[in-house]
Amino acid sequence: MAAPMKGKLFSTDPAVTQEIVLLLTQHGVCARCVLRFLGMGDVGQFRASTEELMEKVKSLVGDQEDLLSSLPCPACLGILQVYLEEPFLNRIVEAVKSSDHQFQNFICSLTTPVCSLVREHAFLLLLREKFKALYEHRDLEDIASVKDVWKWRSGPILAAALDTPFELKSKFDIILHFTFEKSDRECTFLSYHSPDVFRKRKNRQKNYGDTYTRANVARVLSNMTDTYFKRNYSTPKSDEKNLCRCDEIKCVHDAVFIAGRYNKYSRTLSQTPWILDGGRKSQSSVEEEICGPLKKQFLYTEQRFSSSGREDVDVRMLGKGRPFVVEMENPRRVQFTPEVLREIQQEINKSTDVKVRDLQIVDKNDINRLKEGEIEKTKTYSALCWSREPLSRQQLDKLQDIKDLVIYQKTPIRVLHRRPLATRERVIYSMSAEKVDDLHFTLNLSTQAGTYIKEFVHGDFGRTTPNLSSLTGQECDILELDVQSVELDWPPSLENS
């Protein structure tokens, strides 16, 4: 005789509980699902092994030996049976180990076949019919879900096997996708009842597999009368062909973000890979120079590179560099000491064209700082310029007196193919110029971010006004441009640390 069971059930009358157990087991419902439908609220009870649970359930019906124990259970499609046994849990452990992820704790995410909702609803209706008072006002929200029960039992077992805590929240997720071949077919009657709910979904997604989702199935079930349901769907029975499958165990780590500042010393290097009509237009890019060494260390799958503004291919990025951040998806290595990060930085800096500083792992919430105030920020530049006639020192010195000059820039011809046509107001905060030789001078500029410098110098056929040519009365052109600074105090400087 098993020890009496702890935990409250819907019914306090042992005779009623016994009847419920007999009704459910006659339909082949498994011990864990029986406990769920009985309203068991004690998590610990679900942690027991299948054999122990069967004993507990038997104790509820006076230790009847002939209780059915079918496979798979028609309510959970075997998820709380085969998929809670040692062989499958071992498969998970193997999958996690061979994924080779670094993680400190973990969660499990389960997706269960949508028709399991319909099946659970059917059992609830069966109970409502036989035990009206007890189940009349209860719905699926009131019973423990398949997912929760699965986790209550397997969480501690997996945690022990992986020697890592199982948590409610974690950056590392073990994803189990359960599928059941006949799921859609079992849901078909729902679309006869509410064609609009499912038709909309079908058109938008153009994907038949997604016609039935947990959300829309749950909605239709809650709007359906018990009579309609019972007329169109019979209480499921145990059938050996009805075991659901779990073909894939996927391990995913949350993205890790790494930030820093980069300098670019080349006039032939684009910021991102330059691909036109499927072919490469440049050997490398700032992004690739930085991400190559990162990928080798973090072992991630995809990267997303972003920066505070960008410079043209032929423009150098000097000074303290331009802030950037790389989002690294599903990394397999995530723990790095500051020393190792410095080594990665040194590895990147073997590049002749690109150097980085302040390389650091940052929080996802911090990366908005990168785009923040992109327009308000000040940027400084130096440009090597040419004039058709020599400019006198006085003419050049006069530029220094111009402060907070408002200019109007029509979208430059060279970017019209990717930017809408508009006239933008920008401010040149200050300027100064140094003579190089008769026809050449260096122009230093401090401007509002988003100012088109090349166009300010040559005027872009009058599309930027005023411009350097109109200010000096001489035709001017720009030969070389360098960004000297991008004023953004993020990410934090590491130079003194």
Q: Which of 286, 295, 285 is nearest to 261 (CA)?
A: 286
66 is catalytic: no
Measured from the CB atom, is 57 or 317 closer to Zn ion?
Answer: 57
Which residue has 């006004």 as its token pair? 465
Task: Tell me which of 42, 139, 173, 312 is the catalytic residue.
Answer: 312
Q: Which amino acid is at 164?
A: T
Q: Which of 49, 6, 12 is nearest to 31 (CA)?
A: 49
Least distance from Zn ion to the Cβ atom of residue 48, Å? 14
Least distance from Zn ion to the Cβ atom of residue 157, Å? 18
- Token pair, residue 15, equals 């005779």
Q: Are 263 and 297 in contact (CB under 8 A)?
A: no
Spatial neighbors of 487 by CB under 8 A, at least 6 apart, are: 377, 378, 379, 380
- Token pair, residue 203, equals 């058109």
The stretch among 31-39, 180-188, 251-259, 474-482 that binds Zn ion (CB under 5 A) is 31-39
Size of the site for Zn ion (CB under 5 A): 6
Is there binding between residue 35 and Zn ion (CB under 5 A)? no
Is there binding between residue 483 and Zn ion (CB under 5 A)? no
Measured from the CB atom, is 73 or 399 closer to Zn ion?
Answer: 73
Q: Is 322 helix (H, G, I), strand (E, B) or coil?
A: strand
Q: Is 466 helix (H, G, I), strand (E, B) or coil?
A: coil
The stretch among 29-37, 128-136, 204-212, 287-295 that binds Zn ion (CB under 5 A) is 29-37
Q: Which of 209, 221, 16 is nearest to 124 (CA)?
A: 221
Which residue has 């006085």 as its token pair? 394
Least distance from Zn ion to the Cβ atom of residue 73, Å? 3
Measured from the CB atom, is 30 or 54 closer to Zn ion?
Answer: 30
Q: Which of 399, 403, 412 is nearest to 462 (CA)?
A: 412
Q: Is the dihedral of CA 12, 16, 20, 26 positive or negative?
A: positive
Burial environment of residue 40 by CB neighbours within 10 A (0 to 12, 13 to 18, 19 or more): buried
Distances (CA, A) of 434 to 395, 431, 443, 454: 11, 11, 7, 18
The stretch among 26-34, 190-198, 298-306, 456-464 that binds Zn ion (CB under 5 A) is 26-34
DSSP count for the chain of H helices, then E strands: 18, 15
Measured from the CB atom, is 30 or 174 closer to Zn ion?
Answer: 30
Per-position x/- string for 50-79, each x denoting binding to Zn ion as judged by CB under 5 A, each - no binding: -----------------------x-xx---
Q: Looking at 21, 23, 33, 385, which residue binds Zn ion (CB under 5 A)?
A: 33
Measured from the CB atom, is 179 or 430 closer to Zn ion?
Answer: 179
Residue positions counted in the chain: 497
Residue 204: Cβ within 10 Å count? 9
Measured from the CB atom, is 150 or 490 closer to Zn ion?
Answer: 150
DSSP 106: B
Least distance from Zn ion to the Cβ atom of residue 39, Å? 15
Measured from the CB atom, is 88 or 381 closer to Zn ion?
Answer: 88
Least distance from Zn ion to the Cβ atom of residue 69, Å? 11
Least distance from Zn ion to the Cβ atom of residue 115, Å? 14
Residues 433-472 that bind Zn ion (CB under 5 A): none
Spatial neighbors of 324 by CB under 8 A, at least 6 apart, are: 259, 260, 261, 262, 290, 305, 306, 307, 308, 370
Measured from the CB atom, is 33 or 383 closer to Zn ion?
Answer: 33
Per-position x/- string for 241-280, each x denoting binding to Zn ion as judged by CB under 5 A, each - no binding: ----------------------------------------
Rounded to a whole number of angstroms, the distance between the first and last alpha carbons of the chain is 68
Measured from the CB atom, is 30 or 433 closer to Zn ion?
Answer: 30
Least distance from Zn ion to the Cβ atom of residue 95, Å? 23
Per-position x/- string for 290-319, each x denoting binding to Zn ion as judged by CB under 5 A, each - no binding: ------------------------------
Least distance from Zn ion to the Cβ atom of residue 116, Å? 9
Is there binding between residue 30 and Zn ion (CB under 5 A)? yes
Distances (CA, A) of 262 to 276, 323, 353, 434: 25, 7, 10, 27
Long-range contacts from 282-289, C-beta under 8 angstroms, 24+ separation: 282/313, 284/353, 286/262, 286/353, 286/354, 289/348, 289/351, 289/353, 289/354
Residues 71-130 that bind Zn ion (CB under 5 A): 73, 75-76, 80
Which residue has 């992004």 as its token pair? 287
Least distance from Zn ion to the Cβ atom of residue 330, Å? 32
Query: Can you give the binding site for Zn ion, defined by CB under 5 A?
Result: 30, 33, 73, 75-76, 80
Question: Catalytic positions, please?
Answer: 312
